Homo-oligomer: A and B are copies of this chain.
Amino acid sequence: MAQRKRQLVSNELTEAALQLLASNGFDAVTIDEIATAAGVSKRTFFRYFASKEDVVVQFLAGMGADMHTALAARPAGERPSAALRHTVGVPIATCADHSDRALRVVQLILRTPALHARFLERQAQWRDDLAAELAHRLGRDPGTDLYPRLAAGMALTAFDAVLHRWSGSDGAEDPDELIDRAFAVIAPALDAV
């Protein structure tokens, strides 16, 4: 009961925030306005989201965990380029599925410096997680070997480039094809011993 109500209020808040921020710009909207639009108080907003950026970036919250589990689930002997391509494919597929909303959110993030910074911070966290998983997967020591961190960074660089192009083309370009082209570029480095 209480859980469902919490989820309801959270959705209401996210809905109001996304609509207001996307149409008026990030800085022109105050948290009081978002909260009022959702029918709650400013104090309640901060009981659901840690910051103004959070209500937007949390939209991409599960992606990190999704990628980590996706990488862990790949067959053991698979080449790193293939494993990472499927890993990065997970959040991209999520975007493509909800392309209407995801596109608006991504464009808002990439165009707003404060949001972009938070997004990059989250990506850095993803990179650390993927690097740890890769090191474990390949039996490499992350303390002395640069490869895991570099490989995870390259995969996320590809992810970022694809996202950038996808948002720049207003969703016209096919994300899956873009990933394939990006991984064709970085694969030689990922698979070289």
Contact = CB atoms under 8 A, between A and B. Distances in A.
Contacts of A149: 161, 164
Interface string A138-158: 000000001101110110011
Interface residues of A, number: 31
Contact of A185 (B121, B146, B164): B146
A178 interface: yes
A113 B122 CA distance: 10
A119 to B, nearest CB: 9
A151 to B, nearest CB: 8
A177 to B, nearest CB: 11
A154 B189 contact: yes
A60 interface: no
A117 interface: yes
Smallest CB-CB A-B distances: 7 pairs: A153-B157, A189-B189, A120-B120, A117-B117, A188-B188, A117-B121, A149-B161
Interface string A152-193: 011001101100110000000000001001100111111010
A137 interface: no
20 contacts: A117-B118, A117-B121, A120-B120, A120-B123, A146-B161, A146-B165, A146-B181, A146-B182, A147-B185, A150-B157, A150-B158, A150-B185, A151-B185, A153-B157, A153-B161, A154-B154, A154-B157, A154-B189, A157-B157, A189-B189
